[in-house]
Amino acid sequence: MSTVLIGEILAIALFFVATFGVLLGFPIAFSLAGFSLFFAALGWALGAFDPIILTSLPSRYFGLMTNEVLVAVPLFIFMGAILERSKIAEALLETMGQMFGTMRGGLAISVVIVGALLAASTGVVGATVVTMGLLSLPAMMRAGYDPKLATGVICASGTLGQIIPPSVILIFVGDLLMGANQLAAQKTGKPLEPVSVGDLFAGAFLPGIGLVALYILYILFLAVVRPSSCPALVMDAAERASLGRRFVRALIPPLLLIVAVLGSILSGIATPTEAASIGAIGSMVLAGFNRAFSWDMLLGAMRNTAVISALVFGIVLGVSVFSLAFRGLGGEHLVEQMLVDVPGGAFGAVLSVMMVMFVLGFFMDTIEIVLIVVPITAPVIIAMGISPIWLGVMIGVNLQTAFLTPPVGFALFYMRAVAPASITTGDIYRGIIPFVGLQLVAIALLWLVPQTATWLPKIVFPEPVAIVGEPSSRSVFDDIMQGKPTGAPASSGSPLDQLLKQPPTGAPTSDPVLDRLMKGN
Percent of all residues in the chain with a pLDDT value above 90, rounded to a whole number: 14
DSSP string, 94-106: HHHHHHHTTSTTH
pLDDT, position 214 = 95
Average pLDDT, the chain: 79
Average pLDDT over residues 12-17: 87
344 Cβ contact partners less than 8 Å away, ≥ 6 residues apart: 351
240 Cβ contact partners less than 8 Å away, ≥ 6 residues apart: 98
pLDDT, position 438 = 93
CA atoms of 107 and 237, how far apart (whole Å):
18
Tell me the per-residue pLDDT of 44-95, one tens digit each, with 9 for 90 and over. Answer: 988 888 888 888 888 878 877 777 777 888 888 888 788 777 777 777 777 7
Specify the pTM. 0.76
pLDDT, position 126 = 67
Q: Is the pLDDT at 320 greater than 60, yes or no?
A: yes
pLDDT, position 212 = 93
Percent of all residues in the chain with a pLDDT value above 70, rounded to a whole number: 85
Q: Is the pLDDT at 237 greater than 70, yes or no?
A: no
List Cα–Cα distances, 507 to 239, 397, 412, 496, 510, in angstroms. Answer: 77, 55, 63, 20, 9
Taken in order 36, 41, 43, 47, is the CA torsion positive or negative? positive
**pLDDT category, 221, cuts 50, 70, 90?**
very high
Q: Is the pLDDT at 345 greater than 90, yes or no?
A: no
Average pLDDT over residues 410-418: 81
Tell me the per-residue pLDDT of 452-499, one tens digit each, with 9 for 90 and over. Answer: 999 988 888 776 545 544 444 444 444 444 444 333 333 344 433 443
Farthest CA pair distance, the chain: 106
**pLDDT category, 101, cuts 50, 70, 90?**
low
Burial of residue 217 (CB within 10 Å: 0-12, 13-18, 19+) is exposed
Residue 192's beta-bridge partner residues? 467
